[in-house]
Amino acid sequence: MKVLVVGSGAREHALVVSLLADDSVDEVVAAPGNAGMAGIVRTVALDASSLLVGGSFSSVSGSPATNIAQFQTTCPATVTSTGPGCNGTAGLLQTTVTPAPWIGVTSLSRTTGLVANAFAFVLYGFTNPNVTLASLHPLGGQGCGLYAYPDIAFLLFPFGGEVTTSVTIPNDPTLAGIVMNHQVVQFELDQSLQTTAINSANGLRLQFGLF
């Protein structure tokens, strides 16, 4: 029996050692593995634009590939920064998107650092205005920018200092390579529900990928 262990941490290392001691296991391969694993088993590098496939085969498309093949895509899903977030009353506003926006996958956007007495616009746009909030409104915070045109906008209220949204990318190959800009903009409110400050999280550029 041949076993592929995916990971690079201490838990995966311990699993590799345990499998090597199992008489029913003929070979162990780690992907991506770490320096310690590389000394005892074969390791295979991984990146965001590759797909690792294991099975009972010795070649792929005429090239030698004993039990493991790595496929590369020319259109990877990527998440890159287009501008920094700025500080609100509760601290730095920060947005992350996981997993990367592959065709047919649901990606989760999570923004932290929001205040309880506020509302937030979650923006998705095809262009990046790259302008300061202060140039758009006198309440725009220092160092705050707008990095996503609001072609699509959701109004959300923070819970526990954060807002989350999920976006399912249709399983349509024609969407591969499309770029969307994404950002969250917060409007802080006083006790009378008047806006006291406008600040923004970092901007993200999402490119839809396809294998």
**pLDDT per residue over 129-186, tens digit each?**
999 999 999 999 999 999 999 999 999 999 999 999 999 999 999 999 999 999 999 9
In sequence order, what are the residues at sequence separation of 6 or more whose Cβ sits closer than 8 angstroms to the Cβ of residue 119?
155, 156, 157, 158, 186, 187, 189
Q: Quote the mean pLDDT of the chain.
A: 91
pLDDT at 48 over 70: no
Spatial distance between the Cα atoms of 178 and 128, rounded to a whole number of angstroms: 14
Q: Which residues are 29's β-sheet partners?
A: 4, 42
Q: Give the mean pLDDT of 52-81.
A: 80
Say if residues 88 and 114 touch (Cβ distance below 8 Å): yes
Instruction: Report how far residue 211's alpha carbon sits from residue 197's, in angstroms, rounded to the nearest whole number.
Output: 43
| Average pLDDT of span 46-68 | 73
CA nearest to 13, candidates 28, 34, 27, 29 = 34
Tell me what pLDDT residue 103 has: 94
Is residue 162 classed as helix, strand or coil in its secondary structure?
A: strand
- Cβ proximity of 154 and 184 under 8 Å: no
pLDDT band at 49 (very low <50, low <70, confident <90, very high): low
The 10s digit of each residue's pLDDT in 106-134 is 999 999 999 999 999 999 999 999 999 99
Separation CA 92–CA 35 (nearest Å): 36
Q: How far is CA 29 from the centre of its chain?
A: 26
Which of 95, 107, 101, 86 is closest to 162 using CA atoms?
95
